[in-house]
Amino acid sequence: MRLQMLRLLSVLALALVVVYSSVAALYNLYSPAPHEYTISAAQLAAVLERGDTPIAQRYATDAIHFSAPLQQRLAAGEVVGLNSGEGQILFYHRNGDNLLEIGPFPHQPEESVTQWRMLFIGAMLVVLLLLIWPMFRDLNRLQNQAIRFSKKPFQIPEQFNHRSTIFPLAETFRRMANIVTGHFEMHKDLARTIAHEIRTPLARIKFQQALAGHDTQSTEVINRATRDIEQLVEKYLNFSRVEVHEQFLARKCISLEDFFEELGAHLEIQCPQLEIAYYFPDGEAWLEPDSLTIAIQNLVVNAGKYARDRVSLRFEFDRDHCVFTVEDNGPGLGGDALELTDAFTRSATDEQGYGLGLYIVKKVMMWHEGELRLDQSPKFGGTRATLRWPNRN
């Protein structure tokens, strides 16, 4: 914000210089009064003391050529002072048929006009600075509040004076931010309440299952239902953290070998039935490992629903970007691929999902300043999900 203020002051200073110079030039151009010259007693005394040249000389009226305006002034009996161009001034007076030349006298230029111009422009800039500084100060405070709010929502108190130039803007932002914060807090409370309410009967089911007999079919049904409920709870909690921006992502420089080692350990538990191939170069990349792991898990779980037996994970660098692709050998996505990235939106053929996986992936990419693309895999024929984000902090 300070840089913007300096730029504005620079533009105003340039505008003042142009306007002042233009007005001065127009005044000199159209001013009817010619320049007048005067000498002081000190100048006259200095010439008299020197005494090497006569002070006054007489010439014929036609000996020196004057412009028509000057001739008219001389004919009217005026004394005309002219700058000789050598730092000296000569005075002329017509007396009958003679022209009296007095001088030369050393010319003392008038006090520099440039100094007065600079003083005027400087004073105007100080006045403008005093006028606009409070506005830029308040804008800088509002900008800092907006940056802090974007990282983690919080209740914003009323901090700006009612006489501030930006008070309507600041007050509107404050009210909107507090409304959004209220919704976030309500959403977090709702998510935690739902998770708690689901986990309580879930624990009872597990306890009852442990006490039950050895009915294999019933046990399998209970196990499958328990896994579904646990997966739903985990999905909803992930969705809640993403939606309310509970943690601010900070990308770190991570070793790809370490990242894929931890990712593989998670995926072996999540999708034990899939054959997963990993391709990545040596080196490091800028990413947030926890959220990116959640995003990739969601993509692999989605791919596992349709893949016949194989999923491929590939990481590569594209100039200054990281590119992560997840491909499967299933039937591929239909025409509603883009709509699946909205919250609680499921594919027409998905009877087990909750419509949150791809939405969470899209949110994680937004936090990474990247993007999610879904298309057909040219290698395996199934779906290809591509994550792309800048390789920087």
343 class by beta-carbon count within 10 Å (0-12 exposed, 13-18 middle, 19+ buried): middle
pLDDT at 242 over 60: no
Q: How confident is the model at residue 259 (pLDDT cuts 50, 70, 90)?
A: very high
pLDDT at 383 over 90: no
C-beta separation of 351 from 291 below 8 A: no
Residue 388 CB neighbour total at 10 angstroms: 16
pLDDT attached to residue 250: 74
C-beta separation of 89 from 55 below 8 A: no
* Four-way CATH pick for 252-390: 3.30.365.10, 3.30.565.10, 3.40.50.2300, 2.40.180.10: 3.30.565.10
Tell me the C-alpha distance between 111 and 176, whole Å: 59
What's the start-to-end Cα distance of the chain, in Å?
Answer: 23
What proportion of the chain, given as a percentage, has pLDDT over 90?
Answer: 10
pTM: 0.47
pLDDT at 215 over 90: no
Tell me the C-alpha distance between 332 and 328, whole Å: 8
26 class by beta-carbon count within 10 Å (0-12 exposed, 13-18 middle, 19+ buried): exposed
pLDDT at 202 over 90: no
pLDDT attached to residue 301: 84
Q: How confident is the model at residue 221 (pLDDT cuts 50, 70, 90)?
A: low
pLDDT attached to residue 86: 66
Q: How confident is the model at residue 387 (pLDDT cuts 50, 70, 90)?
A: very high
pLDDT attached to residue 89: 76
Residue partners of 150: CB distance under 8 A and separation at least 6:
none
Cα dihedral angle (341, 263, 233, 185), rounded to 10 degrees?
-70
The two three-digit tokens of residue 47, written as one number? 């010439």
Q: How confident is the model at residue 246 (pLDDT cuts 50, 70, 90)?
A: very low
Q: How confident is the model at residue 346 (pLDDT cuts 50, 70, 90)?
A: low
pLDDT digits over 320-344, tens only?
Answer: 999 999 998 888 775 555 556 655 5
Q: Domain limits of the chain?
A: 1-34+107-151, 38-106, 152-248, 252-390
Q: Which CATH class is domain 152-248?
A: mainly alpha
pLDDT attached to residue 217: 66
Query: For residue 54, is the peptide bond before it cis, meaning its omega torsion is within 30 degrees of 0?
Result: no
pLDDT digits over 36-72, tens only?
Answer: 556 666 666 666 666 666 777 777 777 777 778 777 7
pLDDT attached to residue 345: 54
Mean pLDDT across the chain: 76
pLDDT attached to residue 177: 85
pLDDT attached to residue 33: 45
Residue 278, strand partner residues? 313
pLDDT at 34 over 60: no
pLDDT at 349 over 60: no
Which range (135-144, 159-168, 194-203, 308-317) has the least confidence?
A: 194-203
What proportion of the chain, given as a percentage, has pLDDT over 70?
Answer: 69
C-beta separation of 326 from 385 below 8 A: yes
134 or 215: which leads in pLDDT: 134
194 or 304: which leads in pLDDT: 304
Highest mean pLDDT among 9-13, 68-72, 185-189, 264-268: 264-268
